Amino acid sequence: MLLIGGEWLETGDWLEVSSPYSGEVVGRVAKAGAQETTSAIDAAEQAMREPLPAHKRAEILVKVAGQLGRRHDEVARLISDEAGKPMKAARVEAKRGMSTFTFAAVEARRLSGEMVPMDASQAGEGKLAFTLRVPRGIVGAITPFNFPCNLVAHKLAPALAAGCAVVLKPASATPLSALLLAELLDEAGLPAGWLNVVAGSSSEIGDVLIDDERVAALTFTGSGDVGWKLKERAPRKHVGLELGNATPVIVCAGARPDTAATLAANAFSFAGQSCISVQRIYVMDEAWDAFVADFVPKVEALKLGDPADEETDVGPVIDDGARERILSWIEESDGELLTGGDTTADGLIRPTVIANASPQAKVSCEEVFGPVATLTRTTSLDEAIELANSTRYGLQAGIFTGSLHEALQAAQRLEFGGVTINEAPTFRADQMPYGGVKASGNTREGPAYAVRELTEERLVVIQV
């Protein structure tokens, strides 16, 4: 069903949601088009005519966080079913969803402007001034398949905390978790129209969200191709983009002994389908032999299989198209295959490690978004940093080292939105400012930062 103006609606047309592992249908959703999207915007406009006070917004968000905790098994199972995400990772995502709603509730309660020191200039003498933070207006939110619960939470919770009504378009492959969040918000007392969910044709829904002037802000997480076009087509809207990465990490000689294990887990969890999945590993000469000897067996020890199994580390990629693309990139890469490169009997891509592929190979410079990591031997930190910076992406990067000097060099010179030191660049806690530079995006999420993006300052000047 769709949620528009507080009503759960059918359209007569259905979107079937299938398990990426078994192909079984795991749910169906009423399919929306242009007309339903316009109705959703009408409902959002109507809702925003009666602003919800901050304490009510916060209470609703806190209630949802509580329900995500109480219904943890169901939420994790739904994520796993529709995305093919192993239960281990789905449980982490479901818990992070609680965190996202909790931090957004905090932001709703402390949303405020600031005093302006007016008598600091002659012109301002005798006046007081302050700013109010006001909601930008209706938010159009578009989300990807790979975190169907928590990335939807990162759109809905801050927008509602900011006092904005939302029209959400979840990924067609994974709309079920989004609808469950909508149900929880509805049960928590969110009045009609504040959240509307339309699943269906991306171009039809996207066109309406772009063209309708009542939508003040678009917040998009997904691939760069789609994201940057959206921004081009909506020059007068506030457009926030969270896009892809080809995540690099540098391993130096003094790295912690568990570095290989950490990187093996973070390159292949959810079959590499995280925007900050470890992809390009640059290993210093002196560390190379020991690291390769440690890393490859750790990768081979990962358990492949049914995502519903609590022991599984690596499951399927989202669909056959993605699988064929990833296999063809492995095939055409010019490096040495250290492990993987093929598929299991049930069609899963085996975790693949490629050594010393050229910088021009797709696995070295594009986002693989699959269970593939490259290892490249480097002779100096300068070279490693240069290679890490050499793609068009800039979301997160990391370094493992025992040297403060190397760590701080990397922090200063890696051109990314975030740099992790002695932690995989796949790390994210939900309150962090998270987002990319270069082709990876133009915004920061994390409730405090997203609320700032989705509100604007209004100046109030008082003649005393």
Active site residues: 242, 275
The yes or no reply on residue 441 touching ligand NAP (CB under 6 A) is yes
Work out whether 371 is an interface residue with ligand NAP (CB under 6 A).
no
Listed in sequence order, the residues at least 6 apart from 38 whose beta carbon sits closer than 8 Å to its beta carbon are 208, 212
Q: Which is nearer to ligand NAP, 21 or 220 (CB)?
A: 220
Instruction: Determine the 3-state secondary structure of 383 from DSSP.
Output: helix
Minimum CB distance to ligand NAP smaller for 44 or for 151: 151
- When the beta carbons of 101 and 145 are compared against ligand NAP, the nearer one is 145
Applying CB under 6 A, what is the total number of residues that bind ligand NAP? 27
Q: Residue from 206, 248, 315, 398 that binds ligand NAP (CB under 6 A)?
A: 206
Q: Which distant-in-sequence residues (6+ apart) come within 8 Å of 66 by Cβ?
A: none
Least gap, CB of 151 to ligand NAP (angstroms) = 6
Report angle CA 254, 352, 339 to the nearest 5 degrees: 80
Q: 351 burial class (0-12, 13-18, 19+ CB within 10 angstroms)?
A: buried
Q: Are 41 and 208 in contact (CB under 8 A)?
A: yes
Q: Map residue 306 onto helix, strand or coil.
A: coil
- Least distance to ligand NAP, CB of residue 203, Å: 5
Q: Of the ranges 157-165, 201-209, 291-299, 449-457, which one interacts with ligand NAP (CB under 6 A)?
A: 201-209
Q: Which is nearer to ligand NAP, 351 or 441 (CB)?
A: 441
CA distance 331 to 76: 34
153 binds ligand NAP (CB under 6 A): no
**Which helix or strand (DSSP H or E) is residue 62 part of?**
helix 54-70
Residue 411: CB minimum distance to ligand NAP, A: 20
Residues 110-139 that bind ligand NAP (CB under 6 A): none
395 binds ligand NAP (CB under 6 A): yes
Q: Rounded to an integer, what distance in angstroms lies between the CA atom of residue 108 and that of residue 103?
A: 9
Max intra-chain CA distance, the chain: 79
| Residue 329 in contact with ligand NAP, rule: CB under 6 A | no
Binding mask 419-438 for ligand NAP (x = CB under 6 A): -----------------x--
Q: Per-residue x/- mask for ligand NAP, residues 208 to 247, rule CB under 6 A?
A: -------------xxx--x---------------xxx---
Q: Which segment (168-176, 289-297, 299-307, 419-427) binds ligand NAP by CB under 6 A?
A: 168-176
167 binds ligand NAP (CB under 6 A): no
CB 54 within 8 A of CB 108: yes
Strand ranges of the sheet holding 127-135, from the earlier edge strand across to the other edge: 115-116, 127-135, 455-463
Q: Which stretch binds ligand NAP (CB under 6 A): 113-121, 141-149, 284-292, 302-310?
A: 141-149
* Burial of 150: CB neighbours in 10 Å, binned 0-12, 13-18, 19+: buried
Of 136, 155, 169, 323, the one binding ligand NAP (CB under 6 A) is 169
Q: Which residue, 317 or 348, has its beta carbon nearer to ligand NAP?
A: 317
Scanning 238-380, the segments in alpha helix (DSSP H) are 259-268, 285-300, 320-332, 362-365
Any contact of residue 171 with ligand NAP (CB under 6 A)? Answer: yes
CB count within 10 Å of CB 335 equals 18
Pick between residue 203 and residue 343 the one whose CB is nearest to ligand NAP. 203
* Residue 280 found at the interface with ligand NAP (CB under 6 A): no
Provide the token pair at 7.
Answer: 């009503």
Q: Dihedral of the CA atoms 233, 236, 237, 239 (nearest 10)?
A: 60
Q: Which of 144, 371, 446, 447 binds ligand NAP (CB under 6 A)?
A: 144
Instruction: Give the Cα separation of 75 and 69 in Å (integer).
Output: 9
The backbone region for 446, taken as left when phi is positive above 0, alpha when psi lies in -120 to 50, beta otherwise, is: left
- Piece in contact with ligand NAP (CB under 6 A), picked from 113-121, 166-174, 350-358, 401-409: 166-174
Q: How far is the CB of 206 from ligand NAP (least distance, A)?
A: 2
Closest approach of Cβ 450 to ligand NAP, in Å? 11
Q: Dig out the tokens for 132 from the structure.
A: 């109010």
Helix (H/G/I), strand (E/B), else coil: 120:
helix
| CB proximity list for 121: less than 8 A, separation 6 or greater | none
Closest CB to ligand NAP: residue number: 206
Q: What residues make contact with ligand NAP under the rule CB under 6 A?
A: 142-147, 151, 169, 171-173, 202-203, 206, 221-223, 226, 242-244, 275, 367, 369, 395, 436, 441
